[in-house]
Amino acid sequence: MALLGRAALIVALGLLAYAALAGALAAFRGRRRLAESARNALVAALGATAVASLVLLGALAAKDFTFTYVAEHTSRELPLGYTLAAFWSGQEGSLLLWLLILLGLGVSAVFLNGRLTRDVLPWVVPILAGVATFFAVLLVFVATPFATQAAPLDGLGLNPSLQNPYMLAHPPLLYLGYVGLTVPFAFAMAALASRRTDERWIVATRRWTLAAWAFLGIAILVGAKWAYEEVGWGGWYAWDPVENAALMPWLVATAFLHSVMVQEKKDMLRVWNAILVAGAFVLSLFGTFLTRSGILSSIHSFTQSSIGPWFLGFITLVIAASTALILWRLPLLRSRTRLESLVSREAAFLYNNLFLVAFALTILWGVLYPIISEALRGVTVTVGAPYYEFFAIAFGLPIVLLMGLGPLIAWRRASLRALGTSVLWPAAAALVTGAVLLSLGAGSSPAGLIGYTFAAFVLAAIVHEFARGTRARRATGSATWPRAFTSLVGRNRRRYGGYVVHAAIVLLLIGAIGIGGFSSSRETRLEPGESVTVAGYTLTLLGSDQRRAANSQELRARLAVERDGERLGTISPGKNRYFAEEQTSNEVAIRSDPLRGEDLFVIADQFRGQTVFLQVIVNPLVNLIWLAGLVFLAGSLVTLWPDAREQQRLARRFAERDSALARA
Amino acid sequence: MIESLALALGAALAVACVLLAARPFLREPGSASDRLREPGPLERERVRVEEERDRALGALKELEFDHRTGKVSDADYRDAAGPLRRQAADALSRLDGMMRPTMSMPPEEPRVPEPWPPPDEGDLPDPAPTPAPGEPTPGPNDPGSPQHPPMPQTGGPRTL
């Protein structure tokens, strides 16, 4: 069936090339049937790509080792879940998933926004098809998942570090984020190409941008959870180049989601928004390039491959084309209004944009510098965590402060007196929190103390906003407090969902400061019966065990855990020896305390006879990072939930336009 | 055998895809109206004015709410509400002007907008009378005033 997969990809490539060229010609010349034909070709390409994907999935499920891809990424003993997840574990499968998601999202966006952006769609189709053509070319000519061979007796298996439940979800979520950013990019560029630079492309793509941003955010956190459990160094984010590659487009998309509100409400920042949309998309391509090219040494670089130059060429082409288009349409993008005051919501959004983009650019420089250094000077350098942490604090703290201040400031202009009244309670709560933490000894990490004080300010500001908003709704007729609250959120989902997301970021900040500034660690060697105590936890080695699992041999140290004289059970860190892969992986043991939010994290570095070399870490508040993921998801869902009032407004506007057209 | 089946399926897929792509030409082989709809200057202008209208009405709504919650002081509210109402009224007036030549309805005076979107029943109390020029606008916390600032006078449902 590899032949069918190959044929389907060739058909998809032909259709996409046609959709790109015919679509561009139709849009340029104003040919209706050709534009419809290009759109249909995009839909057909989705069908063909789905067929290719099914062929690969079928081969994986059947463990058909005549497929080189299947033989290289699975083995007979690999459990079914990981076998199917091998679809996105290798480079070729990942590229196929990219193409499938891109076409799925692209076709959905084209059909769901057909009415709103009727004038723009003829350009959207060729742009989406152009991006998809690039991936189809890679899949047909450079990295096909349908190469065949004489079937070996067994496959090479899956990289042990990928055999983790979080890895089942992380790559698809990440790709939904990366690929989802193609939709706003395509609509923005189409709006520029068609000279329809009004608000419609923003309205049409708002939810797509939000969804892509939410997927990317969740993917980063799921990836962090995977790294915490699987890579096992005791941290959750290592400023690894590939982790950074996902963070950069997320930061830029975050900036866009804020600045686009300024465009909607004030008709400002049009050029800036076009740059941000293009920047987020380019960075998502760059992220895929970093992950898949093998150009950087990274825990994520599972392959060394030849697709790097292709990606570099395509990224260059996208940057050149979008820059040219923005410059060409610059006269259409000039704002008609100006910033009225430096103390206003839009000014706060502008400041937050500058910090977010500056942070993204410093990360980009940290990622690029080793590549440039090696290319130009032949010197291998590494940009380590201290560089990133310095800028994370330098830019992160003002961003957090603005997260608290922004919601308290009115649009257009705010008097200092009104601002002072709004800020009073949150500031008081923050100062009290800071003073209490200082008295408890949190001054050992000044940045941590400032971070916690700012976090308290943001949380108090959010609570304040919800409280006075609910009170205002109650005063205007809501029968009960709960009804006033739901009415408040229901009428402005973006604003209040955004506040929930802010709360999630604060939780993440609290957790990150906890693990970064206040964790305790100790390395030791234990014989059976010996104990070690770290941050109130006492661990006693009971012995070591071995057992055979489905596809590995497991070696575990058994440790009894006590805290303040109370027995908490046993934990078993150790190592797995995978048969097919012929690799050994560290399997850390984690004991979470949901009430304290802390983790006891134990790594068994070495086993020598009955002696075990251990690293014991206590990570305070780390569980708030994972809780932040759930709160982030909840906030994102609130913002994404369809707003009936907005639908009515748009429907009214369409009705006005359609009736005017009918009369014309 | 499997290869032949794969080839046949691949060929069928290719044919189906080509038919789908060619459908617009097969359905309308000699269509006289093969032009994409190109909005004229008037329609583009109307889109622009509609956005101005919605932006001004949305800003008014937001201003009302921020005033209610105490985020905007009475003085700031007075300073900001007037220009926004004028912007909205101006946009409505221009929209009326754009539509009039194609409508058989008698011309009507532009209406001062109501807060947008229109409040639900029970959403806002009855509008207070608009103060005379120079008369201070009662704030939300002024004794004896209603729990909201004065609303713009409405002229009935908007008919655009």
| Residue in chain B nearest A23 by alpha carbon | B21
Q: Is the pLDDT of residue A282 over 60?
A: yes
- Tell me which chain B residues have a C-beta less than 8 angstroms from the C-beta of A656: 50, 160
Edge-first strand listing for the sheet containing A611-619: A520-526, A611-619, A598-608, A589-593
pLDDT of residue A115: 73
Give the model confidence (pLDDT) of A592-644 as tens digits. 998 889 999 999 999 998 899 999 999 999 999 999 999 999 999 999 988 77
Whether B13 shows a pLDDT value over 90: the answer reads yes
Other CB atoms within 10 Å distance of the CB of residue A110: 20
pLDDT tops 80 at residue A14: yes
Query: For residue A74, what are the CA distances in angstroms to A79, A108, A149, A307, A557?
Result: 9, 33, 15, 22, 29
**Residue pLDDT, tens place only, A367-378:** 999 888 888 888
Give the span between the Cα atoms of B3 and A90, in whole angstroms. Answer: 25
Q: Where are the domains of chain B?
A: 41-102
Pairing of strands A552-563, A531-534: unpaired
Scanning A518-544, the segments in alpha helix (DSSP H) are none
Residue A276 contacts residue A256 (beta carbons within 8 Å)? yes
Cβ within 8 Å of B, A 108-147: 118-119, 122
A597: left (phi over 0), alpha (psi -120 to 50) or beta: left
Contact residues, chain B, for A62 at CB < 8 Å: none
For range A82-90, the mean pLDDT: 91
The answer to whether residues A269 and A337 touch, using CB atoms and an 8 Å cutoff, is no
The Cα A281–Cα A54 span in angstroms is 28
Structure tokens at A94: 């990942």
For residue A294, what pLDDT is reported?
Answer: 65
Highest-confidence range of A76-80, A626-630, B24-28, by mean pLDDT? A626-630
In chain B, % helix, strand, coil (3-state, to 5) comes to: 50, 0, 50
- Which of B36, B51, B53 should we substitute to test contact with A (largest number of A Cβ atoms within 10 Å)? B36
Q: How does residue A395 score in pLDDT terms, banded at 50, 70 and 90?
A: very high
Identify all chain A residues contacting B139, using CB atoms and an 8 Å cutoff: none
Q: Which of A47, A119, A411 sits opposite B17 (nearest CB)?
A: A47
Q: Half-sphere exposure of residue A473, counting CA atoms within 13 Å on the CB side?
A: 21
Sort out which chain A residues have CB atoms less than 8 A from B123's CB and list them. Answer: 476-477
Is A662 in CB contact (< 8 Å) with chain B?
Answer: no
Q: For the segment B106-134, what is each residue's pLDDT rounded down to a tens digit? A: 444 444 444 444 443 333 333 333 344 44
Label residue A508 exposed, middle or buried (CB < 10 Å: 0-12, 13-18, 19+): buried
**Band of pLDDT at residue A304, cut at 50, 70 and 90:** low
Say which residue, B160 or A538, is predicted with more confidence.
A538
Q: Give contacts of B65 with chain A, Cβ < 8 Å.
A: 469, 472
Radius of gyration of chain B (CA): 27
Q: Is A15 on the interface with B (CB under 8 A)?
A: yes
By C-alpha distance, the chain B residue nearest A471 is: B69
Confidence at residue B115, expressed as pLDDT on a 0 to 100 scale: 46
**Measured between CA atoms, how close is A206 to chain B, in angstroms?**
16
Q: Would you state the pLDDT for residue B101? A: 55
**ipTM score assigned to the predicted complex:** 0.79
Question: Which residues 288-307 of A are in CB contact (within 8 Å) with B?
Answer: none
Task: State the average pLDDT for chain B.
Answer: 69
CB distance B51–A656 less than 8 Å? no
pLDDT band at A467 (very low <50, low <70, confident <90, very high): very high
Contact A33 B25 (CB under 8 A): yes
* Count of CB pairs separated by less than 8 Å, A with B: 176
Assess whether pLDDT exceeds 70 at residue B139: no
Tokens 């009955």 sit at which residue? A610
**Token output for A215:** 């997927």
Instruction: Give pLDDT tens digits for A23-75.
Output: 999 999 989 999 999 999 999 999 999 999 999 999 999 999 999 999 999 99
Instruction: Please list every residue in chain A whose beta carbon sits closer than 8 Å to the beta carbon of residue B38.
Output: 30, 119
What tokens were used for A243?
Answer: 């982790």
Chain B residues with beta carbon closer than 8 angstroms to that of A32: 24, 31, 33-37
Kindly give the pairing relationship between strand A552-563 and strand A566-571: antiparallel
